[in-house]
Structure 1
């Protein structure tokens, strides 16, 4: 006959084998998973470094363009619009950019007679007919 001690030892052996299998299986999976994740992290780090270098190069180019426009702009427009009255039309422009254009117009000899600030609704395709009518009226 099978004793109670035999059942306890059998059940303990089954759970011990199950625990050993889980530990061994997870160790192999975790190593593969860890290597895959670390490889992906290295790839992403390389992409981040490339994108940062590209961003820095673009920012340097933008600063150089702004500096060029700041130095050459006034001389390039001086006296081109003497006595002209202009209307400044903007659409979501930065106030500093708008003021810079206004200053260039004044250096060109123009007087800013008015300013029109367009809203995003102007570019709405559903209102294209209204925009055509307004443009025809203004021209």
Structure 2
């Protein structure tokens, strides 16, 4: 989760390499190939690297401790922070690839705790079956113009528009059997916000173009859209989401991540939040403005 861990691993690898260099140098010195001065320089490098490694290890341990304290604080204050913030709002969840049940559960809990409801889940099948997609699109007059490899980004934008509106949905209707791996909930009611996750591996070619259009289209939609992932995600999609204009939250399975997600879905300032290296805007956004009370 923390960049310091990768720094420690890198230092450890360099440290091992330098130690091997010292052993090699000592062996060669017996034949007169390495001078005492060179040996001293190598030893000084090892000593400096050891000190840097130990310092990085200490900082990483401190960061882990602070993260644990933050999550404990967030769990304690979470109900009061988010209660009612999504009252009555309909949230959709889109998975690129198969549904991640753990992530879906974390999103459902976050939304429910804030008074909202996940009313739709769709999992998109990737990579795209080009031939089947074009055949399905050309079968209907309304979607014929979206067929062809050169139109994949346009197709993704069309899918994004249909995701957040109440219908009609001619593109999804044409492509459900080809593109939708799994879906649940109502697909005929407008959404108030969308959560996107990519459990699948990074895609290329036509599928990459379609997803670029999908993400960009959701970012341009008049409702909040947030790209998320769990703390143990093996391949991160956050940089791709951010590049296409989506807000992002890492570690959405943590209390702090759930608070950040609710704030963003409720209209907080867009950005990249969390505790990982992609969280350029901090751990949490500022709370969104409270709804203005009306009097009769």
Q: 2:80 aligned with 1:67, yes or no? A: no
What does residue 108 of structure 2 align with?
Answer: 102
| Structure in which a larger fraction of residues adopt helix | 1
Q: Which residue of 1 aligns with 2:119?
A: 113
What residue is the counterpart of 1:11 in the other structure?
none
Question: Which stretch has the larger CA shift, 58-67 or 77-86?
Answer: 77-86
Unaligned runs of 5+ in 1: 1-22
Question: Aligned equivalents of 1:83 and 1:55: distance in 2?
Answer: 41
Q: Structure 2 vs 1, CA of residues 68 and 131 (structure 1 numbering), >3 Å: closer, same or farther?
A: same
Shift of 1:72: 1.1
**Structure 2 Cα separation of the partners of residues 73 and 51 of structure 1:** 32
| The one of 32, 37, 51 aligned to 2:37 | 32
TM-score, length-normalised on structure 1? 0.58
Distance 1:82 1:107 in 2: 9
2:63 alignment counterpart = 58
Provide the C-alpha distance between the structure 2 equivalents of 1:137 and 1:112, rounded to a whole number of angstroms.
18
Tell me, which stretches of 5 or more residues in structure 2 are unaligned?
Answer: 1-28, 123-195, 224-296
Match of 1:39, SS? helix
Report the RMSD for the aligned CA atoms in angstroms: 3.9
Choose from 87, 93, 99 the match for 1:88: 93
Distance 1:68 1:113 in 2: 30
The 2-side partners of 1:59 and 1:42 are apart by 26
Bigger Rg over Cα = 1
Shift of the 81–24 alpha-carbon distance from structure 1 to 2, 3 Å rule, reads closer
SS in structure 2 at match of 1:26: coil
User: Contact 1:74 / 1:104 at 8 angstroms: preserved in 2?
Assistant: no
**Contact map agreement 1:73 1:104 (CA 8 A) in 2:** no
Give the conservation status (yes or no) of the 8 Å contact 1:84–1:110.
Answer: yes
Alpha-carbon distance, 1:70 to partner: 1.3
Distance 1:61 1:97 in 2: 24
Q: The residue matched to 2:66 in structure 1 has which SS?
A: helix
Closer, same or farther: CA 88–66 of 1 in aligned 2, 3 Å: farther
Q: Distance in 2 between matches of 1:55 and 1:66?
A: 16
Contact kept, 8 Å, 1:88 with 1:115, in 2: the verdict is yes
- Provide closer, same or farther for how the CA distance between residues 111 and 62 of structure 1 changes in structure 2, counting only shifts above 3 A: same
